[in-house]
C-alpha cells in the first residue's frame, strides 16, 4: 500500500497530521512490540513490522511533510503476492492513532 504513488487497490489517502500528532505517532510506534524502527529521523521513520500470526517481516516507511501537514506511508510485504489486507489495515491503524 502506498499513499503517495500507489494505484488502484494499492493506493490509500495520506494521513493528515500536525507536528504534534506526528511526534505522538512516532512515540506510539516505538511502543509497539511488533514494530522495529530502523532509523529515527526528524521527518521520516523507516520500520520493520512483524505480522502477528506468521511473523513475516514487512517494511513500512513514513514521511512527514510538515508544510502540508501530511504523512505519506508505504507499507509492503517482503514475501508473497497477497498480503491478505495486512498493509491496508496497518495504514488504517496508523490513521486511527491520529484521530482525536
Q: What is the pLDDT of residue 1?
A: 45
CA distance 79 to 56: 8
Q: What is the pLDDT of residue 54?
A: 67
What is the mean pLDDT, run by run of 10 residues, along the chain of 100 residues? 51 91 96 93 94 80 97 86 79 92
Which secondary structure element, helix H or strand E, spans residue 19, and what is its range? helix 19-31
Per-domain residue ranges of the chain: 8-98
Cite the beta strand spans of the chain per DSSP E. 15-16, 35-37, 44-50, 57-65, 70-77
CA distance 42 to 82: 32
Q: What is the pLDDT of residue 56?
A: 79
CATH class of 8-98: alpha beta
pTM of the model: 0.83
Amino acid at each position: 500500500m502506498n499513499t503517495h504513488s500507489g494505484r488502484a487497490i494499492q493506493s490509500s489517502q495520506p494521513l493528515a497530521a500536525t507536528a504534534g500528532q506526528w511526534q505522538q505517532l512516532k512515540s506510539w510506534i516505538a511502543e509497539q512490540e511488533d514494530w522495529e524502527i530502523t532509523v529515527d529521523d526528524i521527518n521520516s521513520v523507516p520500520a520493520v513490522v512483524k505480522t502477528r500470526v506468521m511473523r513475516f517481516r514487512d517494511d513500512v516507511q513514513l514521511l512527514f511533510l510538515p508544510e502540508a501537514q501530511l504523512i505519506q506511508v508505504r507499507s509492503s510485504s517482503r514475501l508473497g503476492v497477497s498480503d491478505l489486507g495486512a498493509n491496508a489495515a496497518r495504514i488504517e491503524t496508523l490513521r486511527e492513532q491520529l484521530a482525536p
